[in-house]
């Protein structure tokens, strides 16, 4: 798409002076939602955007800076500013901080979110997993088993994360995979405590069995007990060590 094509788009109509930077962000965001701007498209220059929107260049520059920090836009000097191609981990940050700063008690909500996201991924993995996905998942399972045998909680935690990442890969849905990664990040302290406590209590075999069951679900593709096994495999009851 050339600049001449872009300037005729609806998103370049003038905007008013209320919250100018946010309105510029919103205008560019909606342009991407409605495909007036597509991944890889080059934006008009700051001067052209300022003239089209009827705002100052500083507002345009600040809006672009924010969208770059979100991973939505790329600045390629000297070519210009482009709509990003594909997903960037930076795109998770605004949602991550929004949840972290939420004033409500969100632990139960996070548990429910993790349950439903993981269930959706598990069902897709049962449907879509290719032989190479099963191979990678089994590799991660064996890595997890070895780390449990070693008794190192941090290694178990990382191996568990790799196992669930492999299930996400087998689901072949990048959006769900990124949401699952976000949820794992938000529940990392809880998961780390659970892992450490289970090892302290000698529950390594339970941890192995839960993950082996999940592996079998994906490999066999027809397990009707997926949700029950998934939820039971979170081991929330071991989040607080009971002596």
Give the pLDDT of residue 198: 94
In the chain, DSSP finds a helix count (H) and a strand count (E) of 12, 2
Q: What is the CATH number of the domain that holds 34?
A: 1.10.10.10
Q: Transcribe 153-209 into DSSP letters.
A: HHHHHHHHHHHHHHHHHHHT-HHHHHHHHHHHHHTHHHHHHHHHHHHHTT-HHHHHH
Residues 67 and 25 sit within 8 Å (Cβ to Cβ): yes
Question: Do 140 and 227 fall into the same domain?
Answer: yes
Secondary structure letter of residue 43 according to DSSP: P
Question: Do 203 and 101 fall into the same domain?
Answer: yes
Q: What's the rounded mean pLDDT across residues 121-141? A: 96
Question: Do 11 and 82 fall into the same domain?
Answer: yes
Q: Which residue has the tokens 């004033």?
A: 103
Please give the residue range of the domain that contains residue 142. Answer: 92-238
Q: What is the CATH number of the domain that holds 209?
A: 1.20.120.530
Give the pLDDT of residue 150: 95
Residues 37 and 28 sit within 8 Å (Cβ to Cβ): yes
SS3 (DSSP) at 28: helix
Question: Do 63 and 109 fall into the same domain?
Answer: no
**Does residue 128 carry a pLDDT above 90?**
yes
Residues 90 and 50 sit within 8 Å (Cβ to Cβ): no
**Does residue 103 carry a pLDDT above 60?**
no
Question: Do 82 and 153 fall into the same domain?
Answer: no
Residue of 109 and 162 predicted with greater confidence: 162
Weakest mean pLDDT among 68-72, 177-181, 237-241: 237-241
Question: Do 172 and 227 fall into the same domain?
Answer: yes
Q: What's the rounded mean pLDDT across residues 87-106? A: 69
Question: Do 201 and 173 fall into the same domain?
Answer: yes
Question: Do 75 and 174 fall into the same domain?
Answer: no
Confidence of residue 237 (pLDDT cuts 50, 70, 90): confident
Confidence of residue 6 (pLDDT cuts 50, 70, 90): very low
Residue-wise pLDDT for 133-159, tens only, equals: 999 999 999 999 999 999 999 999 999
Number of domains observed in the structure of the chain: 2
Residue-wise pLDDT for 17-27, tens only, equals: 568 999 999 99
CB-neighbour burial class of residue 202 (10 A; exposed 0-12, middle 13-18, buried 19+):
exposed
Q: What's the rounded mean pLDDT across residues 93-120? A: 77
Residue-wise pLDDT for 177-228, tens only, equals: 888 988 888 888 889 999 999 999 999 999 999 999 999 999 988 777 788 8
Domain-located, residue 80 = yes
Question: Do 116 and 220 fall into the same domain?
Answer: yes
């Amino acid at each position: 798409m050339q600049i001449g094509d872009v300037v005729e788009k609806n998103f370049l109509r003038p905007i008013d002076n209320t919250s100018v930077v946010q309105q510029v962000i919103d205008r560019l965001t909606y342009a991407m939602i409605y495909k007036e701007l597509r991944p890889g498209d080059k934006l008009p220059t700051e001067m052209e955007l300022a003239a089209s929107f009827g705002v100052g260049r500083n507002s345009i520059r600040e809006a672009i800076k924010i969208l770059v920090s979100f991973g939505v836009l790329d600045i390629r000097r000297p070519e210009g500013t482009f709509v990003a191609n594909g997903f960037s981990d930076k795109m998770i940050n605004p949602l991550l901080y929004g949840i972290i700063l939420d004033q409500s008690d969100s632990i139960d909500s996070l548990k429910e979110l993790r349950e439903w996201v993981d269930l959706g991924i598990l069902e897709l993995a049962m449907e879509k997993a290719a032989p190479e996905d099963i191979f990678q998942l089994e590799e991660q399972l064996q890595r997890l088993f070895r780390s449990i045998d070693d008794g190192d909680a941090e290694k178990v935690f990382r191996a568990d994360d790799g196992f669930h990442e492999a299930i996400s890969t087998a689901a072949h849905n990048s959006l769900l995979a990124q949401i699952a990664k976000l949820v794992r990040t938000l529940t990392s302290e809880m998961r780390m405590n659970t892992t450490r406590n289970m090892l302290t209590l000698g529950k390594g075999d339970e941890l192995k069995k839960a993950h082996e069951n999940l592996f079998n679900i994906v490999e066999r593709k027809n397990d009707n007990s997926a949700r029950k096994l998934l939820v039971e495999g979170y081991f929330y009851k071991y989040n607080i060590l009971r002596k």
